[in-house]
Structures are given as structure tokens and as C-alpha cells.
Structure 1
């Protein structure tokens, strides 16, 4: 089966701290002994964050030299190719008080709490929506991974597949959004807008400070030039 030309983000978990807009790669040590990471588990990514293993992990050669699908985490790709992953700041885990680089909750505590949350949430279907041209279609992914989409609500015509990735192969260039992704994307946009506003406010404050300083210096120069010749340029400025 050929590799996809695009990939969806990893499944959602409130205890994942990896970038929710990308699909992440996982380091696998001695795969012949431990195997691939279990779908649904929260594990460490190549970019040294935590995210949920999807139902169908993506496999590539170690070099990753071939064409890659859109949607892969660029930091994971860089780390897989030998570059150093980013160094995140250390904090104290609010649950076990150990030192961690995972935003106030260490990897082990995240895994423990994710396991409880995943077991409870995995009994429900997850709705999603795709936009293909002028069409907007609704569907759902069930706990066993099977995905169903309603092609014609009036007649009940629908399509299904063993997974959402397989189902989407029949909807070329469709934009996909899971229910929780709507919240995450919206939140990300709000954070981005707030960051841009803060940056502009800082720049404006710096500009005003520099302008006030220039005005004070100009005023001091004029005061010093009160006793100079009437034709001095400072009097005509």
C-alpha cells in the first residue's frame, strides 16, 4: 500500500503536549524486541514531546530521503535525520514534584492520567467534518477505529472504511476537522493573535520611549543654545 500524500494530526488527548496540528514520529528502540508503540498510548515523540499513537503508525526508512506527506512535524523530521531536538525549559511536575520538560506535568504522570482518560473516552464515537470544494460532509470515528461519513443526508447514502485515513483516500484534497481540532485550532489562532498584539504593543511602547528620549534631547540642545548667535541653526529648527 503506497504512503499517503497527507497525514492527519495524532489523536487528541488533554495530556499530550506535542503540537496538535502535526502528525509526529516516534523513536523505536529495538523494534524486534519491543515492537511498535501501542495505538492509543501516550508516548515520547522525536521532537521530545508527548502525543497519542494513531491506529495506523507511519513507517519510513531511517534516512527519510523520499517524498514525505504533508502534515508531518518538521521538528520530528529534523531530529530523525540527526539534528538535535529543541531544548524545552525545565519545570517541577505539579503532581509528583519531579523535574520535567513537559510543561508542568512529567511524562510518567501524563501517561498515567492519559490512560484513565483514554479508557473512559474511548467508549464514544468522535465526530468529524470534511470540506471538499462546496460540499461539507459529517462523519464519525468509532472506538474500534472504523470511520463512517454521510455522503447524502437526504437518502442516507454513506461510506465507511476500517480507519479515517483509509476513508479519506476517496475524498481527494478534502479538509478534515475533528470536533476537538476545531477547539484547538481556534485556541491556537487566539494565542497567535494575542502574541501578535503583545508584540505590536511592545514595539509601540519602545517607539514611544525612543521618541520621548529624542524630544528630551532635542529640548536640552535648544536650552543650551539660548545664548548662541541669533542666526544659529538651532534657533531655526
Structure 2
């Protein structure tokens, strides 16, 4: 397996694609082993309709600001190539997939299967049952800085969600543990005696021992003196 996933976020003209609402911003961010690679697809779109006032309040995009941007049909090939056949990670994935599939249906293109989606809201509720699962709440829980998030923005939300998703998956990239991989451990254990490293004991000099005894003598009830009286007790002096 490649370990590739695509993190997706959209902003829309309203809440219901069945009522004719459209995508006006889309962002895809490539992950490998849950970590961003730096590859991003980010597009503002002309939705071809007005933006609901409540939606405008949330993301800040006006109809006038989007006139002249490409239509969804103009970027669909680029988008599908970026998504490829890999899992899609989204916060409240059913919302984003509903809008994406509505856009695809307008172009007589096949929908994206729900089975491809990884919903970070669902992951958060499984890990923190009964606690808020909004993106802001999860950022606070994981100590992720949201000071730049004054309005919803697909690119910034993707960047924040990438950090949240990594934490929900365990907080580190798979394969970056400190322990040696099993194959290397087995190889070390099975090596011939002549290939194994010989321990090199560190032996202090007489001067170092004398200096350390003097140091230990300054410590009341020193552990060294109690455990090794032959080295640190009064009889060891001189």
C-alpha cells in the first residue's frame, strides 16, 4: 500500500446540495502515512448562483468576489486526477461528499463512493465520546493554534485538519518509532558471534575514583556509600 490519502474540504453557497447549492471553494491536500507531503490543490469557483447570507457570514465569500473564477466543470479533471482512487479524509465527510457528488452528477460523472471517506468527526467521537467534535474544539484539545482562523477557509481548514487527523491517528507518522524494526532486531539476534559487537566497559582511572569518593563524601547518607561501602566507605579512603 502507498499510504496515500487525500484530505478534502469545501466551502459552499448554502447547506443543501438538493436545493441547488454549489461548491465555491475546494481544497485537497495530499497525505502520506497521515502526514502532508506539500502537494495541494486549491481552487476558488464561480458557483453560478447567489451565496446565502448565513453561508457568506461563515466563510466570507460574496457572489461578486467569485464572478470570473472557473466553474467546477473546468477543474473537474484536475480534481479527479488529484483524488485518484485513494481514501478521502474530511471533517463531516458526508457533507463534503454530498456536494462533490452533486457537482459530478451535473456533469454525468460517476459519484465518489462513501466507502472511500474517512470522517474525522466520527473518529473524534469514537475517541472522545460525549465531547465536542468540531474542528475548533479538536484543535483546542490537541493544542493546535487556530489564531488565523477568523472565518472558514478551505485551505486553512485543510491545514488544521491535517494536524488534527495525525493526532487522531496516534500523533506520529507510522514507521517513526524509536525501536529497531523487527527485521533488524531478528538480524541482530541471529548474527554469528564474530559479527556481534563486543561490549566495551568503561573503567575509571585511580584519579577519577579518588575525585568521585571526595564528591560522595560531601553528600549526607549518599546512596553510593550505602550500596558500595567497599568503594565509598571510610575503609576505602587512602
Give the TM-score band, short-chain normalised.
Answer: under 0.3
Give the TM-score, by structure 1 length: 0.28
Higher helix share: 2
Give the TM-score, by structure 2 length: 0.28
Structure having greater relative contact order (Cα 8 Å, sep ≥ 6):
2
